């Protein structure tokens, strides 16, 4: 039984690792008229990294068909407009709603005319007006799915403790409990101190949210939520708001009027400390976004080597070597998925601890 489980686990991991390979294979088999291989590969990687109004599983470039789920489009523009993204036909069709015309262009929805005209500036950027967009995109679906998974998992863990503090978790709750204790004992308590319980709900939420989203990004589902800078910005803003709203007077005193420092230097240090208030969440935002985006790009880039240098890889075993490197990098990405969740949560707890620390006054 143990051997069978190991075989099934290996097959599952191998399937996840080569799933982008299958997608590249479909595009290579059909080809795209007027585009070189490297252009097709770049477009494929860019499409994976960006948010989308479609949850596409695979495409048939020769037949011009896409197989997946068209997500709901919700626009506010002289009224509420709700319709399916399928009406855009992947950007090939202009959608008319209440006398307004909308076109999906490079992953964004613009207002246009019946002919779908897009105007450009000197740098070839679209200048058409955009409606207020509250659509349920692929990243939103990823967030919803993650929320459901976390809700179900932690409800199961909570039910365990209703039977007593010494109750042993069962099922998937056994995986969650060591991680919860790790966040508490290695991050919250050392950095925040006796007030750690006040911030545990946020630290647990942000840790498991980032970790689960990173893991989903390594599956054939095609999510890249934490590789979207708007998502990492939102998470960093939560840390920024909690840190500054919970800060005590000693924290603000150390920022605007540093104790124990000559008065002339206080005026020099104050602007630096204020700037530091904003560089901390900025570093949180940028670190998570850059690392996840780079990891996805490298994995898909290694897979693309097989098709970009197809003739050079005719030597027996060359493709196997490329896939082996991809599989090794995939396992490295599993480590990165945990590491980025750890770093974000650790730094958040550190910033919060600095804000609520009670300084000794002599």
Domain ranges of the chain: 72-135, 140-356
Q: What angle do CA 280, 286, 291 make, to 5 degrees?
A: 130
Rounded to 10°, the helix 2-30/37-49 angle is: 130
- Cα dihedral sign for 241, 135, 121, 78? negative
Residue 95 has pLDDT above 70, yes or no: yes
Tally of CB atoms within 10 A around 261: 12
Percent of the chain predicted with pLDDT > 70: 74
Cα separation, 139 vs 292, in Å, equals 14
Which one is predicted more confidently, 233 or 332? 233
Per the CB < 8 A criterion, the answer to whether 95 and 87 are in contact is yes
Closest by CA position to 53, among listed 147, 144, 133, 127: 133
CA distances from 40 to 33, 61, 303, 336, 353 (A): 10, 11, 13, 28, 48
pLDDT tier for residue 191 given thresholds of 50, 70 and 90: very high
Residue 33 has pLDDT above 60, yes or no: no
Residue 200 has pLDDT above 70, yes or no: yes
Closest by CA position to 65, among listed 106, 27, 28, 94: 27
Tens-place pLDDT, residues 240-253: 999 999 988 888 88
Residue 116 has pLDDT above 80, yes or no: yes
For the whole prediction, is pTM greater than 0.85? no
**What mean pLDDT is reported for the chain?**
78
Tally of CB atoms within 10 A around 336: 17
β-pairing, 108-112 with 100-105? antiparallel
């Amino acid at each position: 039984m143990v051997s069978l489980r190991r075989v099934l686990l290996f097959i599952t991991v191998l399937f996840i690792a080569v799933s982008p390979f299958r997608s590249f294979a479909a595009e290579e088999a059909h080809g795209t008229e007027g585009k070189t291989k490297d252009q097709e590969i770049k477009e494929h990687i860019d499409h994976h990294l960006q948010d989308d109004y479609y949850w596409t599983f695979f495409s048939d470039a020769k037949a011009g068909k896409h197989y997946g789920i068209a997500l709901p489009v919700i626009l506010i523009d002289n009224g509420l407009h709700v319709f399916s993204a399928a009406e855009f036909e992947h950007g090939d069709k202009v959608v008319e709603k209440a006398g307004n015309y909308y076109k999906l262009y490079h992953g964004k929805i613009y207002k246009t005319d019946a002919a779908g005209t897009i105007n450009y500036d000197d740098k070839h950027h679209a200048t058409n007006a955009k409606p207020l967009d509250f659509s349920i995109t692929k990243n939103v679906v990823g967030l919803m799915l993650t929320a459901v998974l976390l809700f179900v998992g932690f409800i199961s863990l909570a039910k365990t403790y209703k039977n007593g503090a010494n109750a042993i978790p069962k099922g998937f709750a056994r995986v969650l409990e060591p991680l919860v204790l790790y966040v508490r004992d290695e991050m919250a308590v050392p950095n925040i101190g006796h007030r750690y319980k006040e911030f545990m709900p946020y630290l647990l939420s942000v840790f498991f949210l980032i970790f689960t989203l990173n893991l989903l990004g390594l599956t054939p589902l095609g999510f890249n939520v934490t590789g979207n800078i708007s998502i990492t910005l939102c998470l960093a803003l939560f840390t920024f708001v909690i840190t500054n709203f919970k800060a005590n007077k000693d924290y603000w005193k150390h920022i605007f009027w540093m104790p124990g420092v000559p008065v002339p230097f206080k005026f020099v240090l104050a602007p630096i400390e204020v700037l530091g208030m904003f560089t901390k969440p900025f570093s949180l935002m940028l670190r998570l976004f850059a690392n996840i985006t780079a990891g996805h790009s490298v994995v898909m880039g290694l897979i693309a080597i097989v098709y970009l240098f197809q003739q050079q890889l005719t030597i027996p075993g060359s493709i196997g070597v490329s896939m082996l490197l991809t599989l090794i990098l995939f396992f490295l990405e599993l480590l990165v998925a945990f590491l980025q969740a750890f770093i974000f949560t650790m730094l958040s707890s550190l910033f919060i601890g600095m804000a609520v620390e009670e300084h000794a006054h002599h």
